[in-house]
Structure 1
Amino acid sequence: MTEELVVFRSLKSFSGAGVWQDHRDAKGEHQFAVKNLIYGFNGTGKTTLSRAFASIQRGYLEDGLPSTTSFEFTLSDGTALSSKSLSNPFGQRLLVFNQDFIERNFKWDDSVAEPIFYLSEQSIDKKAEYDAAISAFQAAQADSDAAKLAEGGATKSLADFKTRVAKRVRELAPSQRYSQSFDARKIEPSYLAKDYSAVPLLNQQGLNSRQALLASGEANPPLSELPAISPDLAGWWSRQFVLLSSTPGSQLAEEFQIHSPALTWVSEGLHYHDQNRLTNCLLCGNLLTDERKRFLAQNFDSRWSDFVKNAQTERAQCSAYTEQLRELFQGVPKAIELQASLLAEGEGTQPKLKDNIAEFGKLLNQMAKLLDAKGLEPASVPDFSGGLSSSSATEWVAKFDRLRGEWNDIISRHNHEHAEFSSRQERAFQDIRDHVLAEEHADWKTLSAGTTDASKNLVTTGRKLLDARQKRDALSDVMRTHGAGADKLNKLLKSYLGHGGISLRTSNEGYQLIRSGGTPATQLSEGEKAALAFCFYLTQFEAEGRKKKELIAVIDDPISSLDTSARTHAFSLMSRMTKDCRQAVVLTHNMSFMNMVKREFTKNGGPAQSLFQLECTCQMDDPDNRATRLRPMTNLIKDYDTEYHYLFEIVLKASRTGASEFHYLLPNATRKLLEMFTAFSAPDQKSFAGALGSSGVQLKENDPKALERLIQIESHGTMEGLSSLPALTVEEALRATKAAIEFIKRRDDKHFKAMCRVCLVPEET
């Protein structure tokens, strides 16, 4: 039944096509009905909208639309019809008339037209079979469209999955070198190359260590291993206890043993006096007798000097060991200098090693003090109760060698990692990638299988659709003839033109346009071309087995530049032919034709109707700033037969606010408003200038000049053309609106107040 046939419900969105920058009706508030009228000035995107309808009829984007075009219709069954996946769910039921239709079907210079096929009366017995083929084709088309949507949905779901998983890999593996090049294109090859169902997942510690490795921009530089301590240290240390416990000899006189701190001073003094052959003591002045000298020499012989020199030598060795220990301490690098994977281990070992070195350094400092004291007092024996023992060095060396071995093992692995850093980073990335792919494996398996099934189903339904189309076309070829189409078109054309001076004659390729004398019909007038094209379109309503009551007719301005009489006849013919159509959409820029259609659609007892207008706004001088939207027709156009009320509202609001979103329209709107007003307020004046001069209205000093400039510049403007910027600047146009409104108010205040009430605008701001 016709009620079940799908029709257009709303234009959900339209963008990327000239003035159709960003139209949106997401909630479907502006719905199409059975009869639809769309009114818009030239340049507001009317033809572009008709091309969107035609793209659906033809199943691909019309050549006249840019590649950036994006639109979406909502159908009466709730489904969406988008330019992203164009299809024609209406089949032959959708017929679009516009300039592109005319250019496709007529070659005016050659006087030929494409054929229109009608079912042959001789093959009427095939009609039932043909109808069944049509139904089968439509069912196959629906199945194919559904399969296309399903395949598109499955493909998108899989593509979204690939994008999501690739993004997850990049986020978990922060590496400019490896992860940034890992995008959605890598997902499928990865799954095809490896079975991830058995890949073990990383624990959090394993994931963290690999992330730390990848986060390192480059490997930390190699480090030197810690050298061993001198092998003589332990033996030297033990010898010091022997030295410290010894004295130069027991033969020292008792008086010297009592004053041991002075022994070194006495030894040096004796040596000085002998060397300088002094006979008197420099300290006390007494005579140094030979006997006294022999006594001193017996106490301070070579054993004494050797002992002191040995103590000094051991003290120097202690300093050397201290310096070696200091270099060892400073040579231990910070744990942070290790590779990230060794940081935790290094932080545990490095402090122990440095503490160990520092600990023995303290012991060496104590030993140095003891040796210093021994050098000053060779005969003294120190107290070792402070913790020093002859085995301290042996114990320390054993602990140091163990810690040094652990540390050097870490350093060795650190240097090895430096040498293999790139390969280790790559392995770390691969581990994280495999971890993610293993986690997502189940979803991959489901989605990839769904896409494969959807693709197979699309191929199957496509083959069935091809078979159904071929069967339908074969039956159509048997049944149709274009001779009947010529007869029907000639009848319509004669009725339209009122004469038979132009007709169509069948030829092998289609139709030949001829005049009454049989000569090719060349040099046709615009009116004749419009009549031929529109009748050609209407003749297709019942061609190819179509039923008028099932049709969706979209008609874009069938009147062209026809005169009033031809316009009326075109309307009458269109009204009669589209009366029973399932849905009709009429687009026009002509106010007179629009009023005819509007009255026909809205008369009592008619089918449901929707009246729209194309609202093209622009608040700046930039022509690229124009933006068209499909909106319900304003009451000021819907309820009145002229555009006067609509123009009055536009000009009045602009004069009050000092701005307008209809910059393109404003200068012409102001001129047209004044011409219509003065035509009735000053019927005896032939021009606006005369009406202005004879009105007796006193305006501000510059207002008359503003109006005269407006009329002069826009004298050839039309309300139907908005394809170029107005000659007036924005400031001049706004100044003219204020002057125009002030003139109307002073010329006829009663009229002005009535218009304010009609436009729902307060009389005064």
Structure 2
Amino acid sequence: MTIIENIRLLKGAAVLAERKAVTPSLDLRRFNLFYGFNGSGKSTLSRTFAALQHGKKQDRLPEGCTFEIEMSDGTKFGYPKALTGLEKRVCVFNNDFIAENFRWETGMANPVFYIGADQAEAADQLKALEATFPTAQTKHEGEAKVFREREKAFNEFKRLLARTVSERLRQAARYEAPQFVADVDKLGASADDKLSDADLDAATATCARSEPPAKVKLVEVPVSSLLELIEAAVELAPKSVGSIVVEGLDVHPQMVPWVKQGHEYHVGHDLKSCLYCGKAITDERKKLLTEAFDDNFSKFITELNTAAHHAGDCVETLAIAKAAIPAAAQLSAEFQPPFETAASAFTAALDNVSPLLVTALKAFRERKGAPTSPVTMALPPAEEVRARIKLLDESCNAVNAICKQHADMVDGFNEHQKKAREAIRQHFVATSADDYAKHVSEISDATAKQVAAKAAVEKLEGDIVALRAKVQQHGAAADKINALVKSYLGHGELTIVAVAEGYELPHNGNLSDKLKTLCGRHNDLDRDRLNALERLSQVESHSDSLDDLIAQSSVTVEESRDANAALVHLMEVVDLAHLTDLRKYCKP
């Protein structure tokens, strides 16, 4: 077994000489004796070894003191470097140990443990458990660290997610992580609650509004009139109204409306001559024209004019309807995507129907210009025409339906905004569900492992305490200590007894046997003062210097005076001659 072989380096150790690497070795052996007068450095030297015992510098070592000891195998320990490693091999009994373990003012001492043969097995078990305890404690600390890290990650996850939700909600009260946890428990969102990016942005825009948007006007299209108009064009444009036997009109059919109107004017005003040419209008001419422009023809012209006028109105109406389609930005954000789709379909339907009306209007106008000349129109089949008009009707209704939804939202804006905020919260609960569940699972797993590791440590601690209590029965050591003290003092007057927290020096306010004998012989001795004298002598006997005496003594000034007075009184009564010599040599 290796032993301390040399104090290789020593500096700043009070009165002790400095030692360097080149200083000759002390060549220490298994047993060594250091002796010297008070103040020669014995206590300081013992404190360097006590530093190795405790693994830290002793408070009563001088400031700036450094040292290094060398083992027989060459290993070096010292201060300030490499102070640990010998804690279980070095034991120091010096004045510092006495001050720490013996309390003279209360007559108490810390326990010394004696291990008997019947405790050896428990000691082995204790040693084995103590060896496993650091590993168990390290595991517990590691599991606790993992738990803290996972808890921190989960808290950060909830905090960042809550911040994102709060930015979307745009509400006065800030949305915090606890509210998100409450939403997870309360809302129980599913995959169906996930919003598209467009819907999420629309809900966010709704939440951002401080007041509802304005309503938009519905789009009006006379769908039923459109089909009737085109059917009228199909009927009237090519319709034959018979021959008009008037010389010249067959060659110039465009003049028929003008001649008809002139004839009706001249007859209505009973004019005898033509206002245009000035010639007389004969009865035969009037009769010919009247027969040519009979009621059927007049009815045809009336229908043609009416249809032409109506066609012009419809063409204009469709143009107005196209221009009157609201801009998507005028609607609430959530309606904008579907409205853009509906408006696009409506515009396309208008573009499909408008040319039909333009064709019909053109045919009406051409036929009006030449009522007796049929006009051929290039129109799609009737089924296709009806399909186009039907599609126009449906697309117009789709646009107006969204406009009505927007209007309903405006009327109930507060409730709509509330639902938008709830939809946003459900969306984020749904989209984060997997990550949230993963965090919860990881924390649950870390918690279980931490609890198990903690339980293992607590069980080890309990087992160690129980075994230590079984091993550390200090009562058995009291007899051993009393025997050693008696052999050292040469008498058995100073003894100890075991108590729960250590040992007690039993005096119970009584004097030692010698003082009892003196008091028995001399009744005038003051017992209280003699008690103080005995306490002072006990403290002094364990003090190497005046500094130690002051540091360790708890005797009051009054008790010291009583002790001195008791000493003088004792010498006067018992040994007057000795007192006389003492006064002679100790004159002030």
Tell me the TM-score normalized by structure 1: 0.41
Residues 449-473 of structure 1: CA distance to partner in whole angstroms, max 9, x if unpaired?
2223324543664576589789789
Matches within 5 A, 1:64-83: none
Find out whether 1:363 has 2:356 as its counterpart: yes
Write the letter of the residue equivalent to 2:433.
L
Structure 1 segments unaligned to the other structure (5+ residues): 9-32, 38-74, 78-88, 94-114, 507-511, 520-765
Question: Using the alignment, how far apart are the partners of 1:185 and 1:76 within structure 2?
Answer: 53
Contact 2:109 2:503 in 1 (8 A): no
Residues 98-121 of structure 1: CA distance to partner in whole angstroms, max 9, x if unpaired?
xxxxxxxxxxxxxxxxx9652889
Structure with max Cα Rg: 2
RMSD across aligned positions (CA): 5.8
Write the letter of the residue equivalent to 1:517.
R
Structure with the higher fraction of residues in strand conformation: 1
Contact 1:178 1:426 in 2 (8 A): no
Q: Secondary structure at the match of 1:381?
A: coil
Which residue is 1:118 aligned to? Answer: 102
Which residue is 1:479 aligned to? Answer: 502
Matches within 5 A, 1:447-486: 447-458=443-454, 461=457, 478-479=501-502
Q: Judge which range, 459-468 or 230-239, deviates more.
A: 459-468
Which residue is 1:258 aligned to? Answer: 251
Question: Using the alignment, how far apart are the partners of 2:322 and 2:113 within structure 1?
Answer: 106
Change (3 A) 1:379 1:447: same
Write the letter of the residue equivalent to 2:379.
G
Matches within 5 A, 1:294-305: 294-305=287-298
How far off its partner does 1:504 sit? 3.8
Matches within 5 A, 1:550-561: none
Which residue is 2:429 aligned to? Answer: 433
Which residue is 2:379 aligned to? Answer: 387
Question: Using the alignment, how far apart are the partners of 2:205 and 2:369 within structure 1?
Answer: 58
Q: Judge which range, 254-263 or 226-235, deviates more.
A: 226-235
Find out whether 1:517 has 2:561 as its counterpart: yes
Contact 1:117 1:480 in 2 (8 A): no
How far off its partner does 1:225 sit? 7.6
Contact 2:346 2:396 in 1 (8 A): yes
Question: Using the alignment, how far apart are the partners of 1:253 and 1:381 within structure 2?
Answer: 18
Selected match of 1:372 from 365, 370, 373:
365
Selected match of 1:239 from 229, 232, 243:
232
How far off its partner does 1:165 sit? 3.0
Write the letter of the residue equivalent to 1:318.
A
Question: Using the alignment, how far apart are the partners of 1:489 and 1:359 within structure 2?
Answer: 123
Question: Using the alignment, how far apart are the partners of 1:453 and 1:400 within structure 2?
Answer: 69
Find out whether 1:351 has 2:344 as its counterpart: yes
Contact 1:357 1:400 in 2 (8 A): yes
Q: Judge which range, 467-476 or 310-319, deviates more.
A: 467-476
Q: Secondary structure at the match of 2:175?
A: coil
Question: Using the alignment, how far apart are the partners of 2:268 and 2:396 within structure 1?
Answer: 53
Percent pairwise identity: 13
Question: Using the alignment, how far apart are the partners of 2:163 and 2:536 within structure 1?
Answer: 67
Contact 2:184 2:429 in 1 (8 A): no
Question: Using the alignment, how far apart are the partners of 1:315 and 1:151 within structure 2?
Answer: 91
Q: Secondary structure at the match of 1:316?
A: helix
Change (3 A) 1:374 1:464: same
Structure 2 segments unaligned to the other structure (5+ residues): 4-50, 58-76, 92-98, 475-498, 507-534, 564-588
Find out whether 1:181 has 2:175 as its counterpart: yes
Which residue is 2:546 aligned to? Answer: 495
Residues 491-527 of structure 1: CA distance to partner in whole angstroms, max 9, x if unpaired?
7696239xx8998436xxxxx56584369xxxxxxxx
Question: Using the alignment, how far apart are the partners of 1:142 and 1:514 within structure 2?
Answer: 52
Question: Using the alignment, how far apart are the partners of 1:486 and 1:141 within structure 2?
Answer: 46
Q: Judge which range, 348-357 or 297-306, deviates more.
A: 297-306
Residues 70-93 of structure 1: CA distance to partner in whole angstroms, max 9, x if unpaired?
xxxxx989xxxxxxxxxxx99xx9
Contact 2:140 2:457 in 1 (8 A): no
Which residue is 2:441 aligned to? Answer: 445
Write the letter of the residue equivalent to 1:126.
F
Find out whether 1:150 has 2:142 as its counterpart: yes
Contact 1:118 1:482 in 2 (8 A): no
Change (3 A) 1:6 1:298: farther
Which residue is 1:71 aligned to? Answer: none
Number of residue pairs matched by the alignment:
412
Change (3 A) 1:244 1:349: same
Which residue is 2:554 aligned to? Answer: 505
Matches within 5 A, 1:638-677: none
Write the letter of the residue equivalent to 1:118.
F
Q: Secondary structure at the match of 1:283?
A: coil
Contact 1:346 1:410 in 2 (8 A): yes
Which residue is 1:163 aligned to? Answer: 155
Tell me the TM-score normalized by structure 2: 0.52
Contact 2:227 2:386 in 1 (8 A): yes
Q: Secondary structure at the match of 2:554?
A: strand
Residues 307-352 of structure 1: CA distance to partner in whole angstroms, max 9, x if unpaired?
3332221122223433443454345555677887887766555433
Tell me: higher relative CO, structure 1 or 2? Use CA pairs within 8 A at least 6 residues apart.
1
How far off its partner does 1:360 sit? 0.9
Question: Using the alignment, how far apart are the partners of 2:335 and 2:385 within structure 1?
Answer: 31
Write the letter of the residue equivalent to 1:160.
K
Q: Judge which range, 232-241 or 461-470, deviates more.
A: 461-470
